Homo-oligomer: A and B are copies of this chain.
C-alpha cells in the first residue's frame, strides 16, 4: 500500500508537467507553507483534534503505522490511544461504531484504507448513517467524516481491488455529502469544513495526489462544502473536473493557451450536494463544455454534470458536451493495460479541440 504511495511520489515528481504552479490558491502575502496533499490532510486532522475534544480517529493501522498512506503518522504519538484508535478489520462496524459515537455527541473521523473496501460498509454508510436523521424525524444528527483514498494515476499498478473511483455510489444517496479535493489548500480547508459539518461526509482522497505540493495558509480557514471552485477562468470552453483530473484540466489549459483557446476550469470539489449554479454559469458563458472524471464512464459522475449543463445552459451550447472518463473496465494490473484505463492530459486536450471544432 505504501508501495503505491511511493510510486505516487516518484511518479508525481517524474511528471514535471504537473507542477504545483498550475494552481495557486493561498492568498498572496499571508503566511503559508508548502505542504503536500497528504500533509495538508494531516494538518487539518491535527488542528481539528486540538480544537475539539469530540473529534477522534478510528481506523485500521492508523496508529503508529500511520495508516495505509501514512496520513495519520505522528498523530498517535501526539494524541494517544484514546484519540487515534486502531480497529480490527471490520469496515462495516468501523463506520457503524462511528455513527453510534456521533449519535452521542462525538465527531469521529474514520479511515477506510481504500475506497474499494467500502463495499463492505455500504450498509452502515448509505442505509444507516445517511438515513438516520430523516427516519427519526430529526431527533438526531450524525456528524462524522469517512476518509477514503481512491483512484489511481498512471503506473500505480495495484489492480482491480485497489484502484477504483466510487464517488457515485455515495453521491446518489441523499443524506450524505461527498467531497473530493484536488489540491493541498482544498484538502485542508474542505476537511476542516467536513469535520465541523453536522452530517455524514464522505471525504475522498485521490491517492496519486498525496505527493502533490501547494501553499497552505498557516491561519485557520475552511473551504465551504457544497460549492464548485473555478480554478481557472476562461472565455472559450469550460472543463468540469474533480480530483486528479483538475490537474490534467489545468495542464490542458496551459497547453491550449498558446493556440488561443481560453479554458475555464470548474473543480467539482464537492461532488454532492452538487453546485449546479456554478457549472451552469460557466457553461452559459463559454457555450462549450468538456467533462473529465477518473471514474468509469457509464453511470459515472459525468452523466449528472451533463444533465446539469442541459438543465442550466441548453440554449447557450454551441457544441455537444464531450466527456473524458475512465474506461468501463476493472483496472488491470499490467502497466501496458492500466495506462489506457484512465484519462490522460492528452485526452482532455483532444476533447477541447473536438468541442472547439464543432
Indicate whether A79 reaches chain B with its CB closer than 8 angstroms: no
Which residue on B lies nearest to A164, using beta carbons? B127
For residue A109, CB closer than 8 A to chain B, the reply is no
Judge whether A131 and B117 touch: CB under 8 Å.
Answer: no
Binary CB contact string for chain A from 82 to 119 against chain B (1 if under 8 A, 0 otherwise): 00000000001000000000000000000000001101
The interface residues of chain B lying within 8 Å CB-to-CB of A159 are 135
Q: How many residues of A contact B (CB 8 A)?
A: 55
The verdict on A321 contacting chain B, using a C-beta distance below 8 Å, is: yes
Q: Which one, A17-25, A45-53, A322-330, A343-351, is touching chain B?
A: A322-330
Q: Are A302's CB and B296's CB within 8 A?
A: no
Q: Which residues of B contact A295 (CB under 8 A)?
A: 172
Determine the chain B residues whose CB is within 8 A of the CB of A174 once the complex forms.
296, 298, 327-330
Cα–Cα, bound, A310→B308 (Å): 12
Specify which chain B residues have a CB less than 8 angstroms from the CB of A134 in the assembled complex: 160, 329-330, 332
Q: Which of B127, B168, B311 contacts A299 (CB 8 A)?
A: B168
Write out the residue numbers on chain B whose beta carbons fall within 8 Å of the beta carbon of A304. Answer: 298-300, 303
Q: Which residues of B contact A311 (CB under 8 A)?
A: 320
Asked whether any CB of chain B lies closer than 8 Å to the CB of A13, the reply is no
A357 to chain B, nearest CB (A): 14
A262 contacts partner chain B, Cβ-Cβ < 8 Å = no
Looking at the assembled complex, report how far the CB atom of A91 sits from the nearest CB atom of chain B, in whole angstroms: 9
Identity of the chain B residue whose Cβ is nearest the Cβ of A126 in the assembled complex? B119
Q: A48 to chain B: closest CB distance in Å?
A: 28
Q: How far is the CA of A53 from the CA of B145 in the complex (A)?
A: 48
A211 at the interface (CB under 8 A from B): no
1/0 per position for A193-222, CB-CB distance to B under 8 A? 000000000000000000000000000000
User: Is A301 in contact with chain B by the CB < 8 A criterion?
Assistant: yes
Instruction: Say yes or no: is A183 at the interface (Cβ < 8 Å to chain B).
Output: no
Instruction: Say if the beta carbon of A175 comes within 8 Å of chain B.
Output: yes
Q: How far is the CA of A305 from the CA of B116 in the complex (A)?
A: 26
A131 cross-chain contacts in B, Cβ below 8 A: 160-161, 330
- Nearest CB of chain B from residue A134's CB, rounded to whole Å: 4
Residues of B within 8 A of A300 (CB): 172, 304
Chain B residue with Cβ nearest A307: B306
**How far is A175 from B298 in the complex, measured between Cα atoms in Å?**
12
Would you give the 0/1 interface string for A40-59, flagging 1 where the beta carbon is closer than 8 Å to chain B?
A: 00000000000000000000
- Complex CA gap A342/B227 in Å reads 27
Decide yes or no whether A122 CB sits under 8 A from chain B: yes
Q: Which residues does chain B contribute within 8 Å of A226, judged by CB atoms? A: none
Complex CA–CA separation, A124 to B168 (angstroms): 18
A273 at interface, CB cutoff 8 A: yes
Query: In the bound complex, do residue B119 and residue A171 qualify as a contact, i.e. CB atoms below 8 Å apart?
Result: no
- Contact sample, A vs B, 17 pairs, CB 8 Å cutoff: A117-B127, A119-B126, A119-B127, A120-B123, A127-B161, A130-B330, A131-B330, A135-B160, A168-B299, A274-B298, A299-B301, A299-B304, A300-B304, A303-B306, A310-B321, A314-B320, A315-B320
Extra A-B contacts (19), CB below 8 Å, given A135-B161, A174-B328, A174-B330: A92-B120, A119-B127, A135-B159, A135-B330, A168-B172, A171-B298, A172-B295, A172-B296, A173-B296, A272-B298, A273-B298, A299-B301, A300-B304, A303-B303, A303-B307, A306-B306, A306-B307, A310-B320, A315-B320
The 7 closest A-B pairs by CB, nearest first: A303-B303, A314-B320, A119-B123, A119-B122, A303-B304, A306-B307, A131-B330
